[in-house]
């Protein structure tokens, strides 16, 4: 069964209080929307339609430059912000053919959910296909889901509808299961349901959530897959951005620890998801490895070292050093308090001594 994806990345994100488009805010060295695209890795979509709007040119340029080839990204623009249903309809225009007899799976995701795991989306699609669902929601449960749409179920456990916070009754507001805005749909059923949406709601927008009640009302099966809230919550302001960064850094550090890297204090070690590290490397507190930095085997980095887009040869020692786009040779000893500007290099087996400043390119 083929899979395509629609990533909704048209929002302005006013609560970020930033001139930067919301999908381009960085988490662990990668823009939020690119984390979402990478979460599709196990699905290998035939096409990933990224719906852009606010800052469309900036978002398109960044995603085009850094998205993995396997994502097969295409871009469509939502000129007017008329809701998630409208954005999804626009996203559908990126796919070849029509939707009338195409039973393939369309995954719809928000561009501000950077903590999604590929395994979760794989489970969502597998459950969707195995049960012959018209739609399958990714949901989470939390004690206080204020602000999120609630999932209203039938007595048999299938989903009846999603009710937005502002449209919910007092009884519906007591529901703890909330809609994450991540779905798998059958394409031949999604298209017609989208064309039947109306703006009869408090926001005057086309809600993608209304597709669920349309499909359920027609007798189609709508199911759910639950995922941890820590993985599904979106990022809407700088506080949530910081929390997401902390969670993703913890995941990243754990992966490297299990892959043969020693960290004296993981809470004080900062590694971008784009960094590569060899075996038997020791990272001391205050180490920051950023960008495309590559660290060879058996190196000792830190304390208090910041390396951005640097290449460090095996068996090197780097202490109290700041480097950007620099090369450190095998077995070199750099620092303490060294500065390696862009284009500079330290030869193999060299010792810089204290307060060393290399010559740039």
By annotation, the residues acting in catalysis are 15
Pairing of the two strands 26-27 and 30-31: antiparallel
Q: Do 103 and 186 contact (CB within 8 A), yes or no? A: yes
Question: Which string of DSSP letters, residue by residue, matches 121-168?
Answer: HHHHHHHHHHTT-SEEEEEEE-S--TTS-EEEE-TTS-EEEEE-GGG-
Nearest Cα neighbor of 331 from 355, 361, 299 is 299
Nearest Cα neighbor of 238 from 13, 16, 24 is 16
What is the signed CA dihedral for 96, 102, 103, 106, rounded to 10 degrees?
30
Rounded Cα distance, 88 and 109, in Å: 10
Q: What is the DSSP letter of 266?
A: G
Rounded Cα distance, 88 and 259, in Å: 40
């Amino acid at each position: 069964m083929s899979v395509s994806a629609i990533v909704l990345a048209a929002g302005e994100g006013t609560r970020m209080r930033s001139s930067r488009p919301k999908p381009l805010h960085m988490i662990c060295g990668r823009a939020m929307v690119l984390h979402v695209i990478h979460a599709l890795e196990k699905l290998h979509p035939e096409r990933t339609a990224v719906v852009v709007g606010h800052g469309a040119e900036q978002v398109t340029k960044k995603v085009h430059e850094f998205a993995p080839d396997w994502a097969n990204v295409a871009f469509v623009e939502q000129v007017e912000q008329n809701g998630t249903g409208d954005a999804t309809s626009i996203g559908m225009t990126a796919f070849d053919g029509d939707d009338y007899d195409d039973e393939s799976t369309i995954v719809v995701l928000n561009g501000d959910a950077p903590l999604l795991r590929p395994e979760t989306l794989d489970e969502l699609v597998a459950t969707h296909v195995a049960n012959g669902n018209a739609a399958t929601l990714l949901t989470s449960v939390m004690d206080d889901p204020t602000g999120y749409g609630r999932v209203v179920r039938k007595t048999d456990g299938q989903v009846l509808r999603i009710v937005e916070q502002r449209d919910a009754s007092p009884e519906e507001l007591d529901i703890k299961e909330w809609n994450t805005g991540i779905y798998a749909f059958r394409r031949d059923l999604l298209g017609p349901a989208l064309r039947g949406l109306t703006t009869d709601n408090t926001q005057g927008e086309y809600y993608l959530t209304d597709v669920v009640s349309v499909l359920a009302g027609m007798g189609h099966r709508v199911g759910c897959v639950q995922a941890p809230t820590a993985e599904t919550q979106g990022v809407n302001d700088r506080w949530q951005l910081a929390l997401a960064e902390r969670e993703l850094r913890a995941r990243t550090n754990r992966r490297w620890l299990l892959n043969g890297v020693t960290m004296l204090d993981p809470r004080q070690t900062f590694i971008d998801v784009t960094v590569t590290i060899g075996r038997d490397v020791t990272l001391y507190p205050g180490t920051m490895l950023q960008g495309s930095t590559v660290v060879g085997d058996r190196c000792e980095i830190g304390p208090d070292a910041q390396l951005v887009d640097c290449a460090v040869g095996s068996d090197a020692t780097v202490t109290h050093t700041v480097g950007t786009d620099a090369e450190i040779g095998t077995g070199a000893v750099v620092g303490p308090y060294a500065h390696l500007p862009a284009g500079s290099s330290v030869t193999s087996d060299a010792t810089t001594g204290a307060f060393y400043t290399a010559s740039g390119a």
